[in-house]
Amino acid sequence: MRALDRLQEIAAIAQYRPGYSPEEDAAHELAAGWMREAGLETHVDAGGNLHGRRGLPRVWSGSHLDSVPTAGRFDGVLGVVAAIEAADRLSDVPLGVVAFRAEETGPHGSRRVGELPEAFVELHVEQGPVLERLGEPLGIVTGVAGQARGVVTFDGRADHAGTTPMDARDDALVEAARFVLHVRECARDGAVATVGEVEVEPNASNVVPARVRVSVDARAPTAGRLEALVAAIGFEPGTLVQPVDFSGAPLEALRQVLPGAPELVSGAGHDAMVLASAGVPVAMLFVRSLNGGVSHHPDELSSDDDVARGIDTLTAALGVLAR
């Protein structure tokens, strides 16, 4: 299948293709060639995003070609390659294909896109285990979870690790450890919460920890549930991104061409979220991730059959939207 060969060609440029780097440039150059082969006219906008167009398209599809240092072959790239395949098949339909810049470190490119379409559909690998567990090849994404991030500090007292009895200690790391377990308990029913960073002072093996700072990353599918999660954990978010609900014609088109498909809320942000926040009707199609849903890792995998199904479905949905 040509799409699979193209994933391989992009991966062969470099595993790590940072936003606005020569490696990302090379990926965009390859994709531009494929767009022209599919009969699209290419141009680059002020944000450096690559566009391929037939006619004056109201409907766009695409994703990103940059990657993280430990990347696999599918994240982002599949969405661009699939959109080009769809454009190739829908040869009589005005359609836009876009490769956004610097998604992984931003998203930056999709924020600087300038003009906006009337509808956008992004195909992406799930990057999680839900579809694999359901035994379903494809899922319809109805929105992106909201996210609250902050830092919590625990103050104790530095003491000698040998001479201070256990009942005379004020150990900040022990308090922080209780908090980590509390955070895990608070996240349930589709909400998630993570302590991923810990800073210990003085961070010495023979000193009782005096001060500990931990990060909190809490995500939930609705604004109300995010608020409840933050309250249950008990922290002051430094950053709060509200959930985004997808709606309108793109979501209806996916439901029409994929009746009965499971519907999911994405825990990860995507370029589609940026467009949705700008007021564009948006939907996403997830392709099942195998290997337990691992992503940002070389073991990231979707089957050839699932990729083929994803491209067929994207093509059908774009056909419905653009005609």
Where do contacts with Zn ion occur on this chain (CB under 5 A)? Answer: 75-76
Residue nearest to Zn ion (CB): 76
Residue 19 or 146: the one with the smaller Cβ distance to Zn ion is 19
Q: What is the closest distance, in whole angstroms, from the C-beta atom of residue 64 to Zn ion in the complex?
A: 6
Residue 78 or 148: the one with the smaller Cβ distance to Zn ion is 78
Quickly list H helices, the chain.
Answer: 2-13, 22-37, 77-89, 130-134, 172-186, 223-233, 249-257, 271-277, 304-322
Q: What is the closest distance, in whole angstroms, from the C-beta atom of residue 19 to Zn ion in the complex?
A: 12
**Phi and psi at residue 287, to the nearest 5°:** -100, 135
Residue 75 or 85: the one with the smaller Cβ distance to Zn ion is 75
Q: What is the closest distance, in whole angstroms, from the C-beta atom of residue 124 to Zn ion in the complex?
A: 6
CA dist 171 and 207 (Å) reads 10
Q: Which residues contact 156 (CB under 8 A, 6 or more apart)?
A: 169, 170, 171, 172, 173, 174, 175, 208, 209, 210, 211, 212
Q: Calculate Rg over the CA atoms of the chain.
A: 22
Q: What is the closest distance, in whole angstroms, from the C-beta atom of residue 195 to Zn ion in the complex?
A: 24
For the record, the structure tokens of 200 come out as 């210990």
Residue 68 or 187: the one with the smaller Cβ distance to Zn ion is 68
Q: What is the closest distance, in whole angstroms, from the C-beta atom of residue 297 to Zn ion in the complex?
A: 13
Residue 190 or 269: the one with the smaller Cβ distance to Zn ion is 269
CA dist 148 and 226 (Å) reads 8
Residue 75 or 88: the one with the smaller Cβ distance to Zn ion is 75
Q: What is the closest distance, in whole angstroms, from the C-beta atom of residue 24 to Zn ion in the complex?
A: 13
**E-strand spans in 45-137?**
50-54, 59-64, 95-100, 119-125
What is the sign, positive or negative, of the torsion defined by CA atoms of 229, 104, 37, 10? negative
Residue 76 or 209: the one with the smaller Cβ distance to Zn ion is 76
Closest CA to 265 of 291, 288, 246: 246
Q: What is the closest distance, in whole angstroms, from the C-beta atom of residue 72 to Zn ion in the complex?
A: 11
CA dist 135 to 24, 143, 208, Å?
34, 21, 49
